[in-house]
Amino acid sequence: MIKRIAFIFFVIFIASSVNAQVANLNEAQTQARSENKLILVKFSGSDWCGPCIMLKKTIYDTQEFISFANEKLILLNADFPRQKKNQLSKEQQEWNDKLAEKYNPDGLFPFMALLNADGNVLYTWDGYNKKLAVSDYIYEINQHIK
């Protein structure tokens, strides 16, 4: 019984650490350098943007994308919620605003930017195309991995 409980806690720990996102670009760059990965910044409105919600549900939250991201990417989510109950900390909002100024000045949602560890843009996507599969997103990202 104790082994079973320990195993359950281990699984929960692993599941919570899988696909962990970093809070800011500095952390993402440090981690990308040390792990030789690219950074994928996703600009979203998690509580108001329908296409953002669908992108998360149909692409980002799939096991196929999670497995790929864990191996190749550092994920950085720049969220811009509108509902008061979902508001970010002042510090996190400032980080997200700085990211938007630099990488998404037109305020597109959803918008993704693939960056190298130095913060240089390798590729960008905007909008959500429900005709694209997870494999299409993975293919596009793989085109920029050396």
Q: Which residue has the tokens 């700085």?
A: 98
pLDDT digits (tens, 9 = 90+) for 52-100: 999 999 999 999 999 999 999 999 999 999 999 999 999 999 999 999 9
Domains and CATH numbers, the chain: 31-142 (3.40.30.10)
How far is the CA of 21 from the CAs of 2, 5, 17, 45, 131, in angstroms?
A: 31, 27, 9, 16, 26
pLDDT digits (tens, 9 = 90+) for 87-134: 999 999 999 999 999 999 999 999 999 999 999 999 999 999 999 999
pTM over 0.95: no
